Every structure is written in C-alpha cells, then in structure tokens.
C-alpha cells in the first residue's frame, strides 16, 4: 500500500475559496454570487478583491440561479455559492430550465454537503444532491476529496465550458493530494494499485478509503483504491480496467445509496462487466445532529465500514 | 425597420394571423395571451429595441428581450421570424417533431433570437436582471426588456427578483407585466388576486408605469418614455393592460382561449377579422 501522509488538515470549502480567488485573477469574466453565506463558502477574499464582480443576492437562491444564468449572456462565468441543500433541492427547477436546458455556463458551487455538516442536522445535510444533479443532461458533477483537489477542481471548472455542480464540505480533513496534481475533469486518480478488491471513493470518503486500504494491507489484502472526483462524466475506463483485475468493487460516498456514485458504477458494470459490488453509502435515510465523526460512524461511512464491505464483496467473487 | 404606428399595426395584424395559424396547424398552443401581447412584441422588435437579427447569444451593444411567460411562444416566434431572425416558413414546424420551435422557447435547439428557456414560470425576471448586470459590468449601454404574465407573478421567485433589482439599482432594465387578468383556471381575481400591483412594485422600489398594451400609439410612447428613464437608479416596471385573445372577437377577454386551438371554421372566422398584411407563412 502506497503511503499517504499529511501535515495539515483543512476544509474543502477553503480550497474552493482559494481556487475561486485564483480563477478570478486569471480570468476577468469570472463573477461570483452568494446567498448570504459569504463566510461559510469562503468567498470573502474574492468579494474583497473583486467587489464589482461579486453579487450578494440575499437569502434568495432561486433568484441567484436565474441571475447567474442571465449573467452568462455577455460572456460572464458565474460561480454561485450556498449550502448544497439550497444549491440543488431548493432550486432544482431553476437549474433545470435556466441553466442546464438553456446550456448556460454556470458553476454551482455547494458547501456543507452530506452528513459532515454536523450539528445543524438533517434539514441541511443533503444526501440526494449528486443524484439530482447527475440526472440533468449536460451537467458535470464533481465531488473533490480534500483542500488541494477542491482548489484544483475550482480552477479546472473555470476553464470548462458548460454547467457544473461542484460539491464540497465543512469539516477539516487531511490534505493528502499533491498540491501540484493536475485536475482533469472526468479522469480518475488511482490512489493505490492493487489486485484483490477495487475501492472507489469520492469526496470525504477518499481519506477513509486510504485508511481502510492500510488496514487491509496489514491483513494481506491488496486493495486498488480509486478516487472518482468526477461522478459525471464517469471515468468508465478506469473502473472497468480495475475490476478486470480485481473482480469485485466497493463504492464509497457521503450520499444516499440511491442516486449517487455507487448507482452510476452499478449501471456501468451491469451493462459492461457484471461484477459483485458493495455500497458504502447512507441507506436511504435522513441524517441528524451530531459531530461529523459520530455521524460517519453511526451512518456507516467510516473506514471500518469500508473494510467490512471489502471483505464481504471479496467472498462474493 | 418599420417605424410608423400604422405600419406597426399592420405588422401586428399579420403576427396575429401567424399565431392563429400556428396554433391551428398543430392543434395545440396558447393563442389567448399571444394575441394580447402581439402589439407589445411588434413595438419592441420593429421600433423600440436596438437589435440585430444576425443573432449572437451575447448581444453585445444590443437591447435584449426575455420572455418569462414562455407559453406565449407563438407571438414570440412570429415576431422573431417577421423581424428576420429566421425564415417565416419555419413557423409551420411549431410544436412538431424535430422543430426548433418548441412548445415553449428554448436555446437548446439553437433558434436565433432565443437566449433562455422559459415555460416553467417565474424565472425570467431573475434572468433579465442577470443579463442587465453583465451589461453594466461590460459597460454596454444596451437595455434589457422582459415580459411576464400577471398570473405568473404568483410564483415567489418574481418577488425575490423584484426585491433585488431596485436595491441593486439595476436601472438598465424595463420589465413589463401583461395584465390581462386571466389565468388557466379563471380570472386572476378569482384564482389568487394580485391586488394592487402598482402599490406592490412601488413599495419594492420600482419606477412604475402604466400603458394600454393594445393601443399601439400609446404603447410605443410608453416604451420610448421608459427607455428615456433608464439610467436613473431604478428599474422600470410597466403594468400593461391587455385583452387576452385581442383581435379575434370570440377569443377576447376569456381565459377559455388560454391554451386551446381553434378548429377550421374558427380559423376561417378569425382570418376574416385580421387583415393579411405581409403574407401568411
């Protein structure tokens, strides 16, 4: 097992904030909109440096999405920022009609996704957002795994023509991806090469997958760990190549098991290469208040669950 | 470009014929609101707006128009075709398979003149504000126009937008509400009364104007006055009284013709009431 170490822990939303500022410096057409959550989304630096390219819309997310769609007419590249719940479920129809169906170059940037939002509870812990966004034709869906990858993803989507959903979160987690790693939309990152089981993870679950891989290695199980940061378009080739070697797969995500990464992988494998699969995901339920760590444990999303799932799926080969 | 009021009225008559014929040929669509707004769209595209039928999405240096109440697509398509955005023969394809003229307007089929999809109501004011903000950032002197149904104002997003525009001094924006007092289930006064729209928009901080949307002379004067009022720190809202079904007596003033098509006899009867001025498609 390849060794991954880290020197600091950071939140992925700060990676977004840093990426947005840098993207804004590179391209004057980038504008940002926020619905009363500048601090939470880490958009303050962009606002300070580019006040004329920043729009505070207040607590009015539907209006924010519509304004963003309109701002593309004339060449702007709008980045909208609010919590994941208010970025998707609350404004699904606005995104569907004014952004996706209208082919608008809007970047919907969503923080506080999933259970790791923590104490605010289920009203804010959206676990269905990946599903909603990936169902929209033409929408790119990205869920990076740490600070560096979120920053790189933010820069990458700025240069990508078309609507994007970028999902990140609140908790501080290890920064383990190389700062100079190029972010290629739709291209998986092979975190560790292995032959016994494929573990595919997205977002905060990637670090848990690495921890699981280390434990499995101690037991002589050689796991191939793949970071799928782009859920749509899915890197089908990377997944198929891996399961050809390993013959079984575990998918890991901080999302409902319905509609998420695991479902996309299952559809791929069912049609291309039927393979035993286990899902580490939230089992069709709402979350609740608690610390991020307690929630990940209770809802079955930590490294222990990944280890169990890997052993289980290997028996099904 | 047509400029005289009498020429505009002639064009509006032809547009009304187009609307009836389009809806008749596919036996679906929304003639009522389309007929009511024919004068407004003709005034915009043949006199008031600075625009280029050699369409490009960004519309740099041009005035832009957004149709929020997308179901009145027949009037929009007819006016765009008559203004030279695409061949009038294409009006025949309205609502048929493989057409660029979808039931509700969309950019998805790349029909020249359309800059946003609309149909799901209540989204157009936000979009128009966004386009107006970009014009300001780009130091583009073009004005953004938009049209909304009165029933459509029951959608909450309008009021988010209505709050945003005055506070942010979006003063290169001229929104118009088609006040025809009708919606699918009946008169707006019975379904969900809009009460005092003028007082509402004034309270939100808009510059509010009134006009008769079926009187070309008055309408053009109002729109030109509205243009002259842009740049004064306030967005402009025109409350435009129209009659649903205007121009065809048996369709006038009733919600019943919101979304149904005429039969052959009704088409013939309607055509006797509307002069063919520029040739049917």
Report percent pLDDT > 90 for chain B: 96
> What CATH number did the domain enclosing A141 receive?
3.40.50.970
Q: Give tens-digit pLDDT for B58-70.
A: 999 999 999 999 9
Among B133, B156, B161, whose Cβ lies nearest the Cβ of A71? B133
- Whether residues A149 and A53 share a domain: the answer is yes
Checking if the pLDDT of B1 tops 70, the result is no
Q: Is residue A204 part of a domain?
A: yes
- Whether residues A14 and A163 share a domain: the answer is yes
Q: Is residue A181 part of a domain?
A: no
- Whether residues A51 and A151 share a domain: the answer is yes
Residue of A nearest to B140 (CA): A74
Residue A62: its chain B contacts at CB < 8 A? 122-123, 126, 156-157, 160
Residue of B nearest to A104 (CA): B116
Given an 8 Å threshold on Cβ–Cβ distance, is A97 in contact with B127?
no
Q: Give tens-digit pLDDT for B70-112.
A: 999 999 999 999 999 999 999 999 999 999 999 999 999 999 9
Q: What is the pLDDT of residue B273?
A: 98
Which of A53, A56, A66 to substitute to test the interface with B, most B CBs within 10 Å?
A: A66
Residue of A nearest to B68 (CA): A98
User: Mean of the pLDDT values across residues A3-24?
Assistant: 97
Q: What is the pLDDT of residue B240?
A: 98
Checking if the pLDDT of A67 tops 60, the result is yes
When divided into structural domains, chain A yields a total of 2
Q: Does B115 touch chain A (CB under 8 A)?
A: yes
Distance from CA of B6 to the nearest CA of A (A): 34
Q: Is residue A179 part of a domain?
A: no
For B234, residues 6+ apart whose C-beta sits below 8 A from its C-beta are B166, B169, B171, B205, B206, B207
Q: How many CA atoms lie within 13 A of B139 on its CB side?
A: 0
Q: What is the pLDDT of residue B241?
A: 98
Q: Residue ranges of the alpha helices (H) in A81-185? A: 84-87, 92-94, 129-134, 147-159
Given an 8 Å threshold on Cβ–Cβ distance, is B161 in contact with A63?
yes
Residue of A nearest to B133 (CA): A71
- Whether residues A193 and A75 share a domain: the answer is no
- Whether residues A163 and A45 share a domain: the answer is yes
Which of B56, B102, B127 to substitute to test the interface with A, most A CBs within 10 Å?
A: B127
Given an 8 Å threshold on Cβ–Cβ distance, is B130 in contact with A68?
yes
Given an 8 Å threshold on Cβ–Cβ distance, is A73 in contact with B116?
yes
- Whether residues A211 and A138 share a domain: the answer is no
Burial class of residue B27 (count of CB atoms within 10 Å of its CB; 0-12, 13-18, 19+): exposed
> What CATH number did the domain enclosing A227 receive?
3.40.50.920
Checking if the pLDDT of B2 tops 60, the result is no
Residue B128: its chain A contacts at CB < 8 A? 70
Residue B56: its chain A contacts at CB < 8 A? none
Cβ-Cβ contacts under 8 Å between A and B: the total is: 116
Among B59, B130, B138, whose Cβ lies nearest the Cβ of A69? B130
Q: Does B123 touch chain A (CB under 8 A)?
A: yes
User: Mean of the pLDDT values across residues A155-174?
Assistant: 98
Residue B61 in tokens: 């240096």
Instruction: Pick the closest to residue A264 from A298, A228, A216 (CA basis).
Output: A228
Q: Give tens-digit pLDDT for A214-273.
A: 999 999 999 999 999 999 999 999 999 999 999 999 999 999 999 999 999 999 999 999
Residue B161: its chain A contacts at CB < 8 A? 63, 66-67
Q: Give tens-digit pLDDT for B140-184.
A: 999 999 999 999 999 999 999 999 999 999 999 999 999 999 999
Query: Looking at A145, A174, A203, which one is the last position of a domain?
Result: A174
Tell which B residues from 55 to 84 touch A, by Cβ distance under 8 Å.
57-60, 64, 66
Among B107, B128, B157, whose Cβ lies nearest the Cβ of A102? B107
- Whether residues A80 and A167 share a domain: the answer is yes
Longest Cα pair distance anywhere in chain A, in angstroms? 59
- Whether residues A72 and A169 share a domain: the answer is yes
Q: Is residue A143 part of a domain?
A: yes
Domain containing residue A299: 189-314
- Whether residues A301 and A244 share a domain: the answer is yes
Q: What is the pLDDT of residue B254?
A: 82
Q: Exposure string (b/e) for A184-219, b if CB count within 10 Å is 16 or more? A: ebbebbebbebebbbbbbbbbbbbbbbbbbbbbbee
Residue A31: its chain B contacts at CB < 8 A? 137
- Whether residues A40 and A147 share a domain: the answer is yes
Q: What is the mean pLDDT of chain B?
A: 97
Q: What is the pLDDT of residue A253?
A: 98
Given an 8 Å threshold on Cβ–Cβ distance, is A102 in contact with B106?
yes
Given an 8 Å threshold on Cβ–Cβ distance, is A94 in contact with B123?
yes
Strands A140-142 and A230-232 turn out to be: antiparallel
DSSP string, B157-221: HHHHHHHHHHHTT--SEEEEEEE--EETTEEHHHHS----HHHHHHHHT-EEEEEETT-HHHHHH
When pLDDT is cut at 50, 70 and 90, the band that residue B133 belongs to is very high
- Whether residues A123 and A263 share a domain: the answer is no
Q: What is the pLDDT of residue B71?
A: 97
Catalytic residue among A22, A28, A61, A184: A61
Paired strand residues for B241:
B179, B212
- Whether residues A41 and A90 share a domain: the answer is yes
Q: Does B117 touch chain A (CB under 8 A)?
A: yes
Residue A52: its chain B contacts at CB < 8 A? 137
Given an 8 Å threshold on Cβ–Cβ distance, is B134 in contact with A68?
no
Report residue A17: phi and psi, to 5°: -60, -45
A264 neighbors A102 (Cβ within 8 angstroms): no
Edge-to-edge strands, sheet with B144-149: B64-67, B144-149, B173-179, B236-241, B207-212
Q: What is the mean pLDDT of chain A?
A: 98
Given an 8 Å threshold on Cβ–Cβ distance, is B129 in contact with A70?
yes
Residue A76: its chain B contacts at CB < 8 A? 134, 137
Query: Looking at A174, A197, A218, which one is the last position of a domain?
Result: A174
Q: Is residue A180 part of a domain?
A: no
Q: Does B128 touch chain A (CB under 8 A)?
A: yes
Checking if the pLDDT of A146 tops 60, the result is yes
Catalytic residue flag (residue A61) = yes
B108 neighbors B192 (Cβ within 8 angstroms): no
DSSP state of A174: E
Q: Is residue A184 part of a domain?
A: no
Residue A96: its chain B contacts at CB < 8 A? 120
Residue of B nearest to A101 (CA): B108
Q: Is residue A28 part of a domain?
A: yes
Among B117, B125, B134, whose Cβ lies nearest the Cβ of A102? B117
Query: Looking at A174, A200, A220, which one is the last position of a domain?
Result: A174
Q: Is residue A133 part of a domain?
A: yes
User: Mean of the pLDDT values across residues A138-155?
Assistant: 98
Q: Give tens-digit pLDDT for A101-113.
A: 999 999 999 999 9
């Amino acid at each position: 097992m390849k060794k991954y170490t880290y020197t600091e822990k950071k939140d992925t939303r700060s990676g977004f904030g840093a990426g947005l500022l840098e993207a804004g410096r590179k391209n004057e057409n980038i504008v940002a909109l926020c619905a009363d959550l500048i601090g939470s989304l880490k958009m303050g630096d962009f606002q300070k440096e580019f006040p004329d390219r920043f729009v505070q819309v207040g607590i009015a997310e539907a209006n924010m999405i519509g304004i963003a769609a309109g701002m593309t007419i004339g060449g702007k590249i709008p980045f909208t920022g609010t919590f994941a719940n208010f970025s998707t479920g609350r404004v699904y129809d606005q995104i569907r009609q004014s952004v996706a169906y209208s082919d608008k170059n809007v970047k919907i940037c969503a923080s506080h996704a999933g259970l790791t939002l923590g104490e605010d509870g289920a009203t804010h812990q959206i676990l269905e957002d990946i599903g909603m966004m990936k169902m929209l034709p033409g929408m790119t869906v990205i869920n990076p795994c740490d600070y560096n990858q979120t920053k790189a993803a933010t820069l990458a989507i700025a240069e990508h023509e078309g609507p994007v959903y970028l999902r990140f979160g609140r908790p501080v987690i290890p920064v383990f991806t190389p700062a100079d790693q190029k972010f290629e939309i739709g291209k998986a990152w092979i975190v560790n090469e292995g032959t016994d089981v494929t573990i595919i993870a997205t977002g905060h679950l990637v670090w848990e997958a690495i921890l699981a891989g280390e434990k499995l290695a101690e037991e002589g199980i050689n796991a191939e760990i793949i970071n799928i940061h782009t859920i749509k378009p899915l890197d089908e080739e990377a997944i198929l190549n891996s399961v050809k070697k390993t013959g079984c797969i575990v998918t890991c995500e901080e999302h409902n098991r319905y509609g998420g990464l695991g479902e996309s992988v299952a559809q791929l494998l069912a049609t291309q290469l039927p393979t035993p699969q286990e899902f580490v995901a939230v089992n069709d339920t709402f979350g609740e208040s608690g610390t991020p760590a307690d929630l990940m444990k209770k809802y079955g999303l930590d490294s222990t669950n990944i280890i169990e799932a890997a052993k289980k799926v290997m028996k099904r080969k | 470009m047509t400029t005289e009021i009498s020429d505009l009225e002639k064009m509006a008559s032809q547009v009304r014929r187009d609307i009836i014929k389009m809806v008749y040929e596919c036996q679906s669509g929304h003639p009522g609101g389309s007929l009511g707004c024919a004068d407004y769209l003709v005034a915009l595209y043949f006199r008031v707006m600075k625009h280029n039928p050699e369409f490009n999405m960004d519309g740099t240096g041009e005035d832009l128009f957004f149709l929020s109440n997308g179901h009145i697509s027949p009037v929009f398509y007819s006016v765009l075709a008559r203004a030279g955005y695409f061949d009038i023969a294409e009006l025949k394809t309205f609502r048929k398979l493989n057409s660029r003229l979808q039931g509700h307007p969309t950019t998805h089929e790349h029909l020249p003149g359309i800059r946003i999809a609309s149909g799901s109501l209540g989204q157009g004011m936000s979009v128009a504000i966004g386009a107006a903000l970009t014009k300001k950032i780009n130091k583009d002197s073009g004005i953004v126009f938009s049209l909304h149904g009165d029933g459509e104002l029951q959608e909450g997003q309008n009021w988010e937008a209505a709050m945003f525009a005055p506070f942010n001094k979006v003063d290169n924006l001229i929104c118009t509400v088609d006040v025809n007092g009708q919606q699918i289930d009946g008169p707006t006064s019975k379904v969900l009364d809009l009460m005092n729209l003028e007082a509402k928009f004034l309270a939100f901080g808009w510059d509010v104007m009134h006009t008769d949307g079926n009187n070309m002379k008055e309408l053009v004067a109002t729109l030109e006055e509205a243009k002259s009022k842009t740049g004064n720190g306030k967005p402009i809202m025109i409350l435009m009284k129209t009659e649903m079904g205007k121009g065809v007596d048996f369709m006038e003033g009733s919600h019943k013709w919101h979304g149904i098509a005429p039969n052959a006899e009704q088409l013939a009867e309607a055509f006797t009431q509307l002069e063919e001025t520029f040739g049917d498609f």
